[in-house]
Amino acid sequence: MADKPLRSTKSYGKLDRDGFIHRSWIKATGLPDHVFDGRPIIGIANTWSELVTCQIGLRDLAEFVKRGVWEAGGVPIEFPAMSLPETQMRPTAMLFRNLLAMEVEESIRANPIDGVVLLGGCDKTTPGLLMGAASVDIPAIFLSSGSMLNGKFQGRDIGSGTDVWRFSEAVRAGEMSLADFMSAEAGMSRSAGVCNTMGTASTMASLTEALGISLPNNAALPAVDSRRKVLAHLTGNRIVQLVKDDVKPSDIMTREAFENAILLHAAIGGSTNAVVHLLALAGRLGVPLSLRDFDEIARDAPLLVDLMPSGRYLMEDFCYAGGVPAVMAELGPLFRRGALTVAGVTQGEIAAGAKVWNRDVIGTLEAPVGPSSGVWVLSGNLCPQGAILKPSAATPALLTHRGRAVVFEDIEDYHARIDDPDLEVDETSILVLKGCGPKGYPGMPEVGNMALPPKILKAGVTDMVRISDARMSGTAYGTVILHVAPEAAAGGPLALVRNGDEIALDGPNRTLDLLVDDAELARRRAEWQASRKPPAYDRGWYRLYIDTVLQADRGVDLDFLVGKSSAEVTRESH
């Protein structure tokens, strides 16, 4: 029994008509009288669906969570939450991250739940679940679905996403046959689980460990490894204890925890998408966190993990090499070791029990896999509220670059012209894509790593500077400047760029400038304003989203969802 009265007793503890109604209907699931004696009621929010093979194992894992909850003296009750299949949803799963967060928040708030286990995996499910739970702030713990086994093709390992981009460029350059391209499909995704590269899903799963909101080894254990079932059982044990101890997400995900997440993000060569997700999550919790923090906190953190897309290996290899706890141990003095975790121990205690088993996969501070990593946060007249660049995925020679813009006004314009042999472009050009931000697309899709023109690829050039208000897949690579804020559709200077304009990137000094004088920009702005059209969507979720979504530097949350709602709902339903 908890020292503090449980939320659920307000429903299940009442010996009156309302208590009758609450208990009687839930007893239809097969619950006996004696479980309503004040035990914690544990919700299990499950984003399982057949649309998301990345988390197809969550249905089974939920059963192991339930075992753990029963064993620890709680009562598990599973409920569904929106699944967000990254590879299936149009126009982009990111459009619905905040909808999942809203659904989870209200599902927890409205129901007699004392604690919640969050089951997710595919990219947007992790931040969506965490954001929703953070806004209610009852005890919560995260369990990921785990990653796929290594992909296999023609005798070698291939990585989710990363090799899709590579193969597709090779086909466009005439270096790979279409038959080979098609035959790689089945070998790439050959088991349940999230993408096997350090893409967004594995990045976010890793960050749940750094934030302290999941048990150790949540990220790297493969989806089909039996030890993930054990982890699910232990997760069920721990949530009951967290309720008894009244340990809430806000007690765990503190500023210190976010600093650890940013450090780990750099060390693992994590997805750029984590930036908007961490900013949005911090906003829910009221933790002060800015875009600039990503550059400053991780400035001394080198790349320690040699995983695609920044390196060579895959998540299965990462697991056998020691996973996230081993990286935290290697981060040594940089890591905030006193931070608390849902495991009931500090990050320092977890790191003390970890060891690296394969030095090819996880390096040391003295002999890292690469130089300082993380994301660079750029500023300048092209991105007054910031833009980001992942240096570990970029071509070093392009990190300082001046070139002429080749502008695509929207994604349709890009698709219509990129393969045109008459496109005026050379390898020094800078590709600029507009209309792909939160309001513009809408939903800020992963199109920022736009494929290069075929004539450039055929000349043997594999990278160019690309700039957009979009995101890119966590599995992608290249000298790609993303998340330009404000976006073009919100009137950011990106909207004013024209073909032939000179743009200067100075990565080491973190600047990105459009070399066009102010008078000309003012003239273009007046023209842009006069030609503005109303948004193409005028109803439903799209409308609410476009009207209220914040820019990338604020995490792309909806303005009215920032902060907490609380666990308190005073009115009864009858």
Residue with tokens 């599902």: 107
Shortest CB 122 distance to ligand FES, Å: 3
Q: In the bound complex, what is the minimum distance in angstroms from residue 184's beta carbon to ligand FES?
A: 16
Per the omega criterion (within 30 degrees of 0), is the bond before 442 cis? yes
Strands (E), 13-74: 41-46
Angle at 127 (CA atoms; ends 48, 435), nearest 5 degrees: 105
In this complex, which beta carbon is closest to ligand FES, that of residue 273 or of residue 347? Answer: 273
Q: CA angle at residue 252 from 327 to 344, to 5 degrees?
A: 75
Q: Is 194 in the site for ligand FES (CB under 6 A)?
A: yes
Give the dihedral sign, CA 295/435/448/197. Answer: positive
Upper half-sphere CA count for residue 47 (Cβ side, 13 Å) = 34
Amino acid at 530: A
CB of 195 to ligand FES, least distance (A): 3
Binding flag, residue 123, ligand FES (CB under 6 A) = yes
Residue 264: CB partners within 8 Å, gap ≥ 6?
206, 207, 209, 210, 270, 324, 327, 328, 331
368: contact with ligand FES by CB under 6 A:
no
Alpha-carbon distances, residue 108 vs 93, 339, 515 (angstroms)? 22, 26, 51
CB of 164 to ligand FES, least distance (A): 11
Q: 435 to 464, contacts with ligand FES by CB under 6 A?
A: none
Q: Which of 77, 195, 240, 494 binds ligand FES (CB under 6 A)?
A: 195
CB-based contacts of 508: which residues, under 8 Å, 6+ apart? 399, 400
> Closer CB to ligand FES, residue 135 or residue 196?
196
List the structure tokens of 329: 């141990």
Residue environment code for 450-469, b if the CB has 16+ CB neighbours within 10 A, otherwise e: bbbbbbbbeeebbbbbbbbb
* Binding region for ligand FES (CB under 6 A) out of 58-66, 75-83, 132-140, 192-200: 192-200
CB of 198 or CB of 407, closer to ligand FES? 198
Least Cβ distance, residue 149 to ligand FES (angstroms)? 14
Nearer to ligand FES, 74 or 270 (CB): 270
If the CB atoms of residues 125 and 551 are measured against ligand FES, the closer one turns out to be: 125
Cβ at position 317, least distance to ligand FES in Å: 17
Binding mask 196-235 toward ligand FES (x if CB under 6 A, else -) reads ---x-x----------------------------------
Q: Is 319 in the site for ligand FES (CB under 6 A)?
A: no
87 binds ligand FES (CB under 6 A): yes
**Block residue for tokens 């330009």:** 484
Q: Could you tell me the smallest distance in angstroms from the CB atom of residue 158 to ligand FES?
A: 14
DSSP 332-354: GGGS-TT-B-TTSSBHHHHHHT-
- Which x/- pattern, by CB under 6 A, does the window 28-57 give for ligand FES? --------------------------x---
CA distance 534 to 528: 13
246: left (phi over 0), alpha (psi -120 to 50) or beta: left
Least distance to ligand FES, CB of residue 308, Å: 13
Q: Does 122 bind ligand FES (CB under 6 A)?
A: yes
> Judged by CB under 6 A, which stretch of 191-199, 220-228, 302-310, 409-417 contacts ligand FES?
191-199
CB of 563 to ligand FES, least distance (A): 29
Q: How far is the CB of 127 from ligand FES (least distance, A)?
A: 13
Provide the residue count of the chain. Answer: 574
Task: Look at residue 524 and give its three-state secondary structure.
Answer: helix
Each residue 143-172 as x (binds ligand FES by CB under 6 A) or -, in order, gives: -----------------x------------
Nearer to ligand FES, 195 or 476 (CB): 195
Positions in the binding site for ligand FES (CB under 6 A):
54, 86-87, 122-123, 160, 194-195, 199, 201
